[in-house]
Amino acid sequence: MKFVDEFRDGQAAKTLAEAIHRKVTRPWTLMEVCGGQTHAIVRFGLDELLPKGISLIHGPGCPVCVTPVALIDQALAIAARPGVTFCSFGDMLRVPGSAEDLFSVKSRGGDVRIVYSPLDALALARELPEREVVFFAVGFETTAPANALAVSQAKKENLKNFSILVSHVRVPPALEAILASPLRRVDAFLAAGHVCSIMGMEEYLPLAARHHVPIVVTAFEPVDLLQGILMAVSQLEEGRAEVENQYARLVKAGGNRPAQALIQEVFQVVDRTWRGIGGIPDSGFGLRDEYADYDASHRFHVEDIGGPESPDCQSGLVLQGLLKPVECPAFGNRCTPDHPLGATMVSSEGACAAYYRYRRFDHVH
């Protein structure tokens, strides 16, 4: 059985869209939190199936996109050093720092490698004891367990040549910042299902109650998203503000407790700067003191490195749902995947990349 087929079924999608049309009596604005949701919405034209009064806006749901320039510059400085093997997921290699990207370092002879897991980088550290192996640990809570496992295992094996450059961000504090903003446009959230598969839904309960905002945990296929939109709109029309779970086939209320325990063992909650948005209290993970030897920023003394963001890039407004990618003057001309001004045009989950890939011929300035 092809399990994805039923979640891309055209008749099921049509039925859900019709139900949304029947339910809506006034305009509402919904923000999908995850970049994977954004790509599905744009790719399959789900927003075009909705009533005109329903507006979908794109949130800060791409960890690559919100990794600050300072951390990119730190990565560049580390990767350029002799004796370093710098490992990263592929998206990060083309994210611009203040002057260049990791591909530029690689082109000059830096040992920059694409890996598929932090455990791949850990294996390299075992194989190359004469080199410093650094993994760029970027992600939401979803990828934190694997990164925590790599660090924990490195400590158990007493591997001295392995470290991680941490850029982990947490979703709930970002939603709090959006809801508390005087520019808030959001009436309801479609929360990221993969994050909640790890962390559960408990952190969202006080958010929904305090701001009276529906939060629906949603998966990533067209039928999933349309069902999540219907659930959110139903709450809004009925005056409810609850946390609901559309992704019940995977997400449990309490999340993955063993994964959470591993995160808590290795990481602690820290303040974090989000690219294009700024500082958000308690919005990241950093290594605990007992794992400080595995913190690449300290090991290589790059904490004070970091330049400014491009003044021409308006990705911060996109990430806060205040601007559609196509409304940016640079979209499609001065900013393209080949010559990006910001990370939202590079990442496979970036909103600007989604619009460029699927709708650029309608919107190039």
| 258 and 278 housed in the same domain | yes
pLDDT one digit per residue (tens) for the chain, 365 residues: 466 778 888 899 999 999 999 999 999 999 999 989 999 999 999 999 999 999 999 988 788 888 888 999 999 999 999 999 999 998 899 888 888 999 999 999 999 999 999 999 999 999 999 999 999 999 999 999 999 999 999 999 999 999 999 999 999 999 999 999 888 889 999 999 999 999 999 999 999 999 999 999 999 999 999 999 999 999 999 999 999 999 999 999 999 999 999 999 999 999 999 887 889 999 999 999 999 999 999 999 998 887 777 788 888 888 888 888 999 999 999 999 888 888 889 888 889 999 999 988 765 44
- Answer yes or no: are the C-beta atoms of 243 and 209 closer than 8 Å: no
Q: How far apart are CA 281 and CA 269, in angstroms?
A: 9
Rounded to whole angstroms, the Cα distance separating 174 from 176 reads: 5
What's CA 26's distance to the chain center, in Å?
Answer: 30
Quick one: tokens of 342? 């910001």
Is residue 365 domain-resident? no
224 found inside a domain: yes
Residue 218 resides in a domain:
yes
Residue whose pair of structure tokens reads 């699927």 in the numeric block: 358
Range(s) of the domain holding residue 249: 1-306
Q: What's the Cα-to-Cα distance from 44 to each of 9, 214, 231, 252, 354, rounded to whole Å?
A: 12, 24, 20, 27, 11
353 & 289 share domain: no
Q: Does 251 fall in a domain?
A: yes
CA distance 287 to 266: 6
Structural domain total, the chain: 2
Half-sphere CA count of 126, side-chain side, radius 13 A: 12
Q: Is 164 left (phi over 0), alpha (psi -120 to 50) or beta?
A: beta
CB-count exposure of residue 88 (10 Å: 0-12, 13-18, 19+): buried
CA 192 to chain centre: 9
CA dihedral over 274, 280, 285, 287, signed as positive or negative: positive
Query: What CATH number is attached to the domain comprising 274?
Result: 3.40.50.11740
Going from the C-alpha of 38 to that of each of 43, 64, 136, 166, 193, the distances in angstroms are: 8, 14, 24, 25, 13
Same domain for 143 and 278? yes
Q: How far apart are CA 153 and CA 133, in angstroms?
A: 14
Picking from 266, 289, 306, the residue at the C-terminal end of a domain is: 306
What is this structure's pTM?
0.91
80 and 218 part of one domain:
yes
Residues 346 and 229 in one domain: no
Same domain for 192 and 109: yes
Residue 56 lies in a domain: yes
Which pLDDT score, from 0 to 100, does residue 365 have?
A: 45
Verify that 241 and 344 share a domain, yes or no: no
Q: Which residue has the tokens 């003044």?
A: 311
Q: How far is CA 198 from CA 98, 170, 203, 228, 250, in A?
A: 33, 12, 12, 19, 10
Beginning with the edge strand found earlier in the chain, give each strand of the sheet holding 54-58 in spatial order: 54-58, 28-32, 188-192, 215-218, 243-245
Is 290 among the domain residues? yes
Rg of the chain taking only CA atoms, in angstroms: 21
Instruction: Report the length, in residues, of the chain.
Output: 365
Tokens at 281, concatenated: 């209290």
293 and 320 both lie in a single domain: no
Residues 230 and 109 in one domain: yes
Q: What spatial distance separates the first Cα and last Cα of the chain, rounded to whole Å? A: 44
Q: Are residues 348 and 243 in the same domain?
A: no
> Is residue 364 included in any domain, yes or no?
no
Is 269 among the domain residues?
A: yes
**In terms of domains, do 180 and 323 share one?**
no
Query: Are 26 and 94 part of one and the same domain?
Result: yes
Q: Report the 10 Å Cβ neighbour count for 45.
A: 11
Distance of CA 58 to the CA centre of its chain: 12
d(CA 190, CA 193): 9
